[in-house]
Amino acid sequence: MKKLRKILCVVSALVLTSMTTSPLMADNSNFAGPYVGLMVAAAGVELDGKVTGDTETGTDVVNETTTGNVGRTAIIGGIELGYAVPIGNGVLIDIGANYIAGGAKIRTNNSDTEATADVIFEVDDMYSMFIAPSFALSDTSSAFIKLGYTHATVSVTGDVSKPDDMEGATYAVGTRTVLESGMFIKSEAGITEFDSLAATGLGAGGTGKSISTGTKIDADPSVAYGSVSIGMRF
């Protein structure tokens, strides 16, 4: 994720440099106005986690910490809408939002074969709001840099406390091509870095299903994605 973040920063700097050193003569009216589109994205989720808990060793209680990294990929779809406002020759400010349909589950299995109450974290209803300075490269093509806020609802099943909902910042770069009919194709690559998630054991699960109240779970989730959107400008 750190390498991708550096790449996005370099690409953004190159785009800004090219726009400030070259005159923008393209007509931005082809990109201005409201739009709506459907998006498909390939997303890679990375979770850096840490579990801290008490372990009994003979007559002593030892506090142990276990760290790990988990990665998953998925194909997701959603809808986006926005409004592009021209602010100068070849320059626009795109303000919009998108919503990702469906959700994802992370399951931790209890090693006790008689236990049925495993811990399941579920994330769904993810949406983003963003602002994207856009630069017309020609009468039909533009490039943009995006900064957004992303939120996702978190629910949990099992003997642990519910973490706060996920919130984070999204950074992306991309291009958009608009046809004479108003139909557009947009490609985008970005990363979302969420705030840390935290949960603790409740100690109320019963024999074989209980997670100690001394157990603490901390995780730093992030998502890297590449997406393609097809829609209509009005």
Give CA–CA dist 149/127, Å, rounded: 8
**Rounded to 5°, angle at Cα 58 from 218 and 66:** 20
Full pLDDT tens readout for the chain, 234 residues: 555 455 445 444 545 544 444 445 567 788 999 999 999 999 888 877 677 765 544 444 445 555 555 667 888 899 999 999 999 888 999 999 999 877 777 666 555 444 445 677 788 889 999 999 999 988 899 999 999 999 999 888 877 888 889 999 999 999 999 998 999 999 999 999 999 888 888 877 665 567 777 778 888 888 899 999 999 998
Domain regions of the chain by residue span: 2-233
